[in-house]
Amino acid sequence: MNISRKPLLIIAGPTAVGKTDASILLAQELNGEIVSADSMQVYHGMDIGSAKSTLEQRTAVRHHLIDVVEPDQPYSVGDYLRQARQALDEIVRSKKFPLVVGGTGLYIRALTRGLFQGPPADPQLREEFMQEEASKGPGFLHATLRNLDPEAAVKIHEHDLRRIVRALEVYHLKNRKLSEFHEEHALQNKPYEFTLVFLCRARSDLYARIEERIDRMIASGLENEVRTLLGRGFSPDLVSMQGLGYRHFAGYIQGALSRNEAEALLKRDTKRFAKRQFTWFRREPDAIWIDITGISDAREILQHIKKHPAVKKYIEI
């Protein structure tokens, strides 16, 4: 069997929708292993805030792509793609069932449709670009991009510095336009056959669950987790420390926010994040939406997933 054509079951959904518990039950039923698709759970030591599954759950079902880097190590989609593919091959080779679970849309898109062959991030170069923007005035980088790669400049808003810098970075490192890379790649190659399930709930239901989950995170020691990370010398400026919960509690610990503000902002920002996840997956043409509004029991959630025709074929193996 061609390993690269092994079908994949992907369970996605916004934060706090109920992916984790249900997918662990499913993995147990199928004798499978879970490949996480979560940009925060890759960080070692960030457990409570990133809502990792428990140690018991991870003992019961083998997990991949969790705790793969320290919070101060750079990590990005490219790293994720390589590691996730490797993990999937390994799972298939060991005759287990691969189950991808997570809410990071970009990671899932990379896994299902690949990534263009661009250069990895170059932090120093990025810093130089940012300095230039600062010294030559706002709009300078976008104007530069308009000259070098007009097609890309049209698509990237002039305030979206992060993407402007990336486009310039690609041009400088490869001497080729980002827009050319994109045209070539076009997100069309699908290395795996897959079924992508997006679990969803009514906004009011999801938002209530988000608040409850954050209350639970706080009760189980989120503040201490953040204090420990800061105590180990991890800067609040790190990408990992910009994650939901981490940046809020770092702000509180450092005195920029009151405890109540930190909590309220964390809840607000998590809801906003969930909204962006909806937007992302709405545009994902292959996503099969399964509404589990009002259902909180993991076994019941699993039943809903399993009875969907697109998922059934996996279960009947």
Cα separation, 127 vs 237, in Å, equals 14
Q: Whose Cβ is closer to RNA: residue 278's or residue 289's?
A: 278
Q: How far is the CB of 1 from RNA (least distance, A)?
A: 27
In three-state form (DSSP H/G/I as H, E/B as E, the rest C), the secondary structure along 102-133 is: CCCHHHHHHHHHCCCCCCCCCHHHHHHHHHHH
Task: Among 105, 209, 249, 263, indicate the residue that binds RNA (CB under 7 A).
Answer: 105
Cα separation, 228 vs 190, in Å, equals 41
166-205: contacts with RNA (CB under 7 A): 166, 181-182, 185-187, 203
245 binds RNA (CB under 7 A): yes
DSSP-derived secondary structure letter, 21: H
Q: Whose Cβ is closer to RNA: residue 106's or residue 230's?
A: 106
Q: Whose Cβ is closer to RNA: residue 133's or residue 311's?
A: 133
Task: Among 9, 10, 24, 51, indicate the residue that binds RNA (CB under 7 A).
Answer: 51
Residues 6+ apart with CB under 8 A from 64: 33, 34, 35, 36, 83, 84, 87, 90, 91
Q: Whose Cβ is closer to RNA: residue 98's or residue 247's?
A: 247
Sign of the torsion formed by the C-alpha atoms of 40, 41, 45 and 48? positive
269 binds RNA (CB under 7 A): yes
What is the rounded (10 degree) CA torsion for 103, 105, 110, 112?
70
Q: How far is the CB of 30 from RNA (least distance, A)?
A: 24
- DSSP string of 187-220? T---SS-EEEEEEE--HHHHHHHHHHHHHHHHHT
286-315: contacts with RNA (CB under 7 A): none
Q: Could you tell me how many residues of this chain bind RNA (CB under 7 A)?
A: 60
Q: Whose Cβ is closer to RNA: residue 40's or residue 257's?
A: 40
Cα separation, 317 vs 235, in Å, equals 48
Q: How far is the CB of 267 from RNA (least distance, A)?
A: 8
170: tokens are: 């690609």
Give the footprint of RNA on this chain (CB under 7 A): 15, 38-41, 49-51, 75-79, 103-107, 109, 114-118, 120-121, 126, 155, 157, 159-163, 165-166, 181-182, 185-187, 203, 239, 242-245, 268-269, 271-273, 275-280, 282-283
